Amino acid sequence: MKYLSTRGHSGRLGFSDILLEGLAPDGGLYMPETYPQMDDAALTRLRGVLATQGYAALAFEILSLYIDDIPAADLKRLCEKTYTQEVYGTKEITPVTPLGSTGLHLEALSNGPTLAFKDMAMQLLGNLFEYELARRGETLNIFGATSGDTGSAAEYAMRGKKGVKVFMLSPHGRMSPFQQAQMFSLMDENIFNIAVEGVFDDCQDMVKAVSNDLVFKKKYKIGTVNSINWARLLAQVVYYFAGYLYATKSNSEKVSFTVPSGNFGNVCAGHVARMMGLPIDKLIVATNENDVLDEFFRTGVYRVRGSADTHETSSPSMDISKASNFERFVFDLIGRDGAALKDLFATQISAKGSFDLSGDARFAQAATKYGFASGKSTHANRLQTIKEVFEQHGVMIDTHTADGVKVAREHVKSGVPMIVLETALPIKFAATIVEALGREPSRPAKFEGIEALPKRVLVMKPDVAAVKTLIEKNA
């Protein structure tokens, strides 16, 4: 399997190369040349693998379709090392639970070390990085940005890993106290937290600016753990297959997924699974007040917002107005035309902050051919949804999952299970849970008193030169 850039760069690389590289040299995102296809016989075999051998074996089967430059025995061992009951607390790893007779199901993705769905991919990524760096005798400086959960998931996955340092940007004061404490209380010498005086999009822009400086990137061996890294998105594809197989009894059934989304990485993994032949009816994108993606799927207009127009909400991990992974879907939508894609994202957005596909006949295929729909949730919706789900089903959900449930209810179809991807445990957003329910969510014992721990973090302006200097001094 070889990988190409969404923006037309002519080079073709293997998985191990793009694992360490992040963005392509032309600023595009890597995509597989083709999507491996899963027919009925293949799905039946995967159903048996999951039932008899478990999630790690399923992960190996899916990943091996895209990874042919790591020996199969090694890849299998890395999957088995990553997806264990000891780490995730359940044999199923991502169990699917119905919400009564509503047609809605929750797929639990937040049982990992940092209580967020990002652990599902990041734990594997940490093991892949360590393996590949040891194989090459190299080191890597990971430079990333987080709106809340990516940072802690990356840092917990990389702490103590040989040959790896992590430089993580986050928007100063815009994450929940629990999220901040998870990251900033880490004292490992290979972890560097930088709080940027701005919003997540400012952090993301800094990561892209550094990644696009090819001389700097090569000299300081810069890699990324954001979902612009294909390896991370690929790991997320696995839980769509698991969710489908857990929720159905035969391959003749279809399911839909609703995915709380800001950066489009999580739902893009669903798009990949659907392109592989997984029987997905609809992929529903649920946004909060920062509704750039909802606006596109309703109107065909993709309009990024500046920092001043990016709302600070009670589902802060989705406070994003430039969805990095959206480029991957648009690449497929417009027929994998790299030059046209580059015009949309590098030219039109730079010139006017938006592009408009409403008059393009291919825009209709977003819904018809690719199964996308969308919806929006507000703070009031979150409070109401959290309250109703708890009162009616005895289940406490976090704010982002509440956005998903609210939007999922608007798209439920009789006879088609609707799986909402649970994104984090409620304790990460305790203030809003208290507002909705009048009670504190429970927290795992290992996180008791985390907010009071000493913190190690540097606050800085959104200054690319300054962050480069920091990397230079500590790489």
The average pLDDT across 102-112 equals 97
Dihedral of the alpha carbons of 120, 425, 415, 248, in degrees to the nearest 10: 40
pLDDT at position 396 is 98
Residues carrying an active site annotation: 118
Domain count, the chain: 1
The pLDDT value recorded for residue 160 is: 84
Residue 443 pLDDT class (50, 70, 90 cuts): confident
Query: Is residue 276, in this structure, part of any structural domain at all?
Result: yes
State mean pLDDT over 112-127.
Answer: 94
In a domain, 308, yes or no: yes
Q: What pLDDT score was predicted for residue 213? A: 93
- 246 found inside a domain: yes
Domain of residue 426, residue span? 96-114+232-437
- Residue 20 has a pLDDT of 87
Residues 226-270 have pLDDT tens digits of 788 999 999 999 999 999 999 999 999 999 999 999 999 999 999
Has residue 456 been placed in a domain? no
Instruction: Please check whether residue 86 lies inside any domain of the structure.
Output: no
Q: Is the pLDDT of residue 38 over 80?
A: yes
Residue 306 — pLDDT band, cuts 50, 70, 90? confident
Find the CATH number of the domain harbouring 289.
Answer: 3.40.50.1100
Is residue 391 in some structural domain? yes
Instruction: Examine residue 193 and state whether it is found in any structural domain, yes or no.
Output: no
pLDDT at res. 23? 85
In a domain, 119, yes or no: no
Of all residues in the chain, the percent with pLDDT exceeding 70 is 100
For residue 162, what are its two tokens?
A: 């040989």
